Every structure is written in C-alpha cells, then in structure tokens.
C-alpha cells in the first residue's frame, strides 16, 4: 500500500493530499530511509513521522484497504510510540 494512502486510511493524517505533502517535504522515513508519498509499505515496516519538534514512530502490523469509520480500528492495527 502506498505511504500516503496508509497514513490516510489509518487516520494518522486526515487527508491524503496532506500526507503526500508531508512525505514530499522529507519528514517521513520508512525503515530509516527517507520516503516519498509513493513508497510501498509492508507489514512490520517502521514509519517515522516528524510533526514540528515531535516524532511519531509507527510499526505497521496489519493493512486493509477500507476507509469506513466503523472499521477504522479493525482496518489498521499499528503500534505507536511517541518520542
């Protein structure tokens, strides 16, 4: 799944266009490597997102293509660690 779509579906970032902008500005790393919005994510990938002076660390545990609000918790299981 594309990085920008994952961020939207998992509700880490509300809009895909915003997720694309954040990634293209170099604020996101996947497995320690700078990532573009088109980067393919896989299970067990580590995603680092910089929001100003905050760092959000996410480990991808499961992916599904659903964006329904009822299913949001079931759709994207992730492990979040703020640092």
How many Å is the maximal CA-CA distance in the chain?
Answer: 33
pTM for this structure? 0.75
Average pLDDT over residues 39-49: 93
How high is the mean pLDDT of the chain?
Answer: 82
C-alpha distance from residue 45 to each of 38, 48, 67, 69 (Å): 15, 10, 20, 24
Give the model's pLDDT for residue 48.
Answer: 94
pLDDT for residue 67 is more than 70: no
- Angstrom distance (rounded) from CA 66 to CA 75: 6
Q: Report all structural domains of the chain as residue ranges with CATH numbers, in order of start.
A: 1-80 (3.10.290.10)
């Amino acid at each position: 799944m594309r990085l920008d779509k994952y961020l939207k579906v998992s509700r880490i970032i509300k809009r895909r266009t915003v997720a694309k902008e954040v990634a293209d500005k170099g604020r996101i790393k996947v497995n320690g490597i700078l990532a573009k919005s088109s980067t393919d994510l896989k299970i067990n990938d580590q995603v680092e997102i910089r929001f100003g002076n905050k760092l959000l660390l996410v480990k991808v545990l499961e992916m599904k293509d659903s964006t329904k609000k009822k299913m949001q918790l079931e759709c994207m299981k992730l492990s979040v660690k703020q640092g």
